[in-house]
Structure 1
Amino acid sequence: MSPLRFVAMGDSLTEGIGDPVADGWRGWAALLAAGLAPPGGGDTEFHNVAVSGAQTSDVLKRQLPAALELRPDIISVVVGVNDTLRCTFDIHAVAARLDQIYASCAQQGALLLTACLPDPGAMLGLPGALARPLARRQRGVNAVVHALSERYGAVHLHAAEGDWVADRGLWSADRLHPGERGHRLLAARFHALLAARGAAAGRPPSREPQLPQPTRSASIWWLATAGTGWVARRCTDLLPQLLTLAADEVRHQVRGSSARLDLIASHGVATALAALSAAEQPDAA
C-alpha cells in the first residue's frame, strides 16, 4: 500500500516554532501527520517545507515547486502574516499569489488545507493606532483566504479569533507563535475537519502537552532579548510606513471618519478577488 503523502508549506507557524523537540521544532503539521493514517492500515509520509519568515511570494516561488514534486495527497498552505508586516504589502498581489498556489495544488489533485490567522498587532499588544492598520491588513488576507478556500474546496480552519487566541497558556513566550498546547490544538482541530471529510482515519493528536508552558518570567526575558531583535529587524522595513499609517489612523479618528479606512480596505479585497474572477473568464464582457 502506498503511503499517504502530506506536505506542509508556510512560514514559522508551520515550521513548528514554539513547539520545541530534541532535534529542533515539531509543530502542528507534524502532530497532525501522525493521526492521518490508521494504525496498521498504512503509513504517512510527511514533508515540511515551511520556512520561518516566508511570505506568499516565497511559498509560490520556492516551496510550491518542491512540494508538488513530492506528489502529495494532502497539502497545507498556511501563510500571509509576514506579508502584512512588510512595507511592500499589496492585497492584490497576495490574492494573486494565493490563487496560483491553491490552483496548482488543486490541479494536482491534492486535498488542500488552509487557515485564517490572528492579527499580529493584537497578539503583540501594540497600541491601538499601530495595531489597527495591521489588523486591517490581516482581515484582508483572511478574507482572501476564506474566498479562495471555498473556491478550491479546501479544508479551512477558522483560527483568526475565539477563546484560543485570548488564552495566553496556548502561546509561546514570543506571543506570536503557539506553544506546544497551541500547536496541539491546531493539529486536533485540523484532524477533526479532515475526519469529517473521511481524510483522517488515525487517532486525533493528543491535546495534552508534554512540556510545561512558558512562565511569565520567560516571556519577559524573551521580549527583553530575542523579542527586541525581532522588532528591530522589522523596524527597518515596516516601522516608517507603520508610523505613517498610525498618523493617518489618528487623523481619521479625530475627524470621526475611521470607518472610511475600513471601507477602503474592504474595497481593496473585493477588487482583488474580482480581478481573479475576471482573469478566469477572459472572454467576459
Structure 2
Amino acid sequence: MTISLHRSATVLFQGDSITEVGRLVEPDSPLGNGYARKAADRVRSARPDSGITFVNRGVGGDRIADLRARWREDALELRPDVVSVLIGVNDTWRRYCSGSVTSARAFEDDYRAILTQVRDELDAQLILIEPFLVPVRDEQWAWREDLDPRIQTVRRLSQEFGAALLAADGLLNQAARAAGGAEHIAGDGVHPTPLGHTLLAEAWAALAGL
C-alpha cells in the first residue's frame, strides 16, 4: 500500500529519538538529522513545486504512553494530512534497563487510541513504521521476546486502519547482514547509523511512490 502526497499537504513524523535525531537541540534542523529529514529531502527533490510541508515532533525517550499523552498537542492540533509513526522500542528497552514494563495489551490499547483519533478527527493517511532491533550484543537477542509482539501489533493495526506499513525490522536486519554487521546499521542495536537512516528514508519515500 502507498500513500498519496497531494499538493500543499502537511506530513507529520512522530516517534521517539529515532525520529527526533537532534531537532530539539539544533534550531536550524527542525526535521532533525535522521530518516525524517532524509525522506523529506527525497520528496522535495522529486517534487520541488509541490508545496508539501514536513513537521517532526519526535521526542527522545518516548514510549507509547508518552506519545499518547502529547498526541493532541503534537499531532491532532497540527491538522496533518499524513501521519507517520515510529514508536515501541523504548517500551521494550525500559523493561531490560530499568524493569519498567509496558504490557503488549497496554501497548496495543494506546497505539489503537491514537490511530482512532487520527481516523475520527483528521481522516489523515497513515504510515506505521515497525519498531526494530538490530542486535549488536548477545543479550539483546533476548529483547526479541518483548519486541516481537509489538511488531506484530503494528502490523495488525496497519491492516485495521488501512495504513501503509514500513516493515523496518526485517529491512534493517537484512541490511546488517549485507553490510557485514549490525554496527553498520544501528550502532547500539536501536539507534540507526547514517546508513540505517538512509535505508529507512528510502523505504519511506517508496511508500509515497518515489
Q: Same fold (TM over 0.5)?
A: yes
Cα-to-partner distance string for 1:20-48 (whole Å, 9 max, x where unaligned): x9956411112112333553432221111
- The residue that corresponds to 1:106 in the other structure is 119
Asked if 1 retains the 8 angstrom alpha-carbon contact of 2:71 and 2:114, the reply is no
Count residues in correspondence: 189
SS at match of 2:138: coil
- In structure 1, give the amino acid aligned to 2:47: P
Q: Does 1:4 align with 2:9?
A: yes
Q: Where does residue 190 of structure 2 map in the other structure?
A: 176
Whole-angstrom CA distance in 1 between matches of 2:128 and 2:72: 14
Tell me the SS of whatever aligns to 1:42.
coil
2:138 to 123, 126, 142: 126
Deviation by residue 1:67-115 (Cα, 9 ceiling, x = unmatched):
1111111111110111112322211110000001111222211111112
1:61 aligned residue: 69
Spell out the pairing of 1:14-29 with structure 2 (5 A cutoff): 14-16=19-21, 25-29=32-36
Please say if 1:158 is aligned against 2:167: yes
Supply the distance in 2 between the matched residues of 1:40 and 1:9 (Cα, whole angstroms): 23
Which amino acid in structure 2 is aligned with residue 123 of structure 1? P
Instruction: Give the deviation of 1:12 after TM superposition.
Output: 0.9
Q: 2:57 aligns to what?
A: 49
Alpha carbons of structure 1 residues 135 and 63: separation in structure 2 relative to 1, 3 Å: same
> In 2, Cα distance between the equivalents of 1:163 and 1:6?
28
Contact 1:34 1:44 in 2 (8 A): no
Compute the RMSD of aligned alpha carbons: 2.6
- SS of the residue corresponding to residue 58 of structure 2 reads coil
Per-residue deviation at 1:4?
1.7
TM-score by length of 2: 0.79
Higher relative contact order (CA 8 A, sep 6+): 2
CA distance in 2, matches of 1:40, 1:30: 15
Tell me how far apart the structure 2 counterparts of residues 83 and 71 of structure 1 sit (CA, whole Å). Answer: 27
1:97 aligns with 2:110: yes
- Could you tell me how far apart the structure 2 residues matched to 1:43 and 1:169 are? 37
| Residue pair 1:9, 1:64 contacting (<8 A) in 2 also | no
Structure 1: runs of 5+ lacking an equivalent: 196-203, 205-285
Q: Which amino acid aligns with 1:126?
A: D
Cα distance between partner residues in 1 of 2:166 and 2:176: 14
**Runs (5+) with no aligned partner, structure 2:** 1-5, 95-99
Q: Greater CA radius of gyration, 1 or 2?
A: 1
Of all paired residues, the percent bearing the same amino acid is 27
Alpha-carbon distance between aligned partners in 1 of 2:79 and 2:126, rounded to the nearest angstrom: 13
In 2, are the aligned partners of 1:8 and 1:29 still within 8 Å (CA)?
A: yes
Residue 147 of structure 2 is aligned to residue 138 of structure 1 = yes
2:169 match: secondary structure: coil
Mapped to 2, the partners of 1:72 and 1:22 lie a distance apart of: 22
What's the TM-score, normalizing by structure 1? 0.60
Structure 1 position 155, deviation (Å): 0.9
Sort the Cα spacing of 1:70 and 1:22 in 2 relative to 1 into closer, same or farther, 3 A.
Answer: closer
Q: Distance in 1 between matches of 2:188 and 2:153?
A: 27
Alignment partner of 1:112: what SS?
A: strand
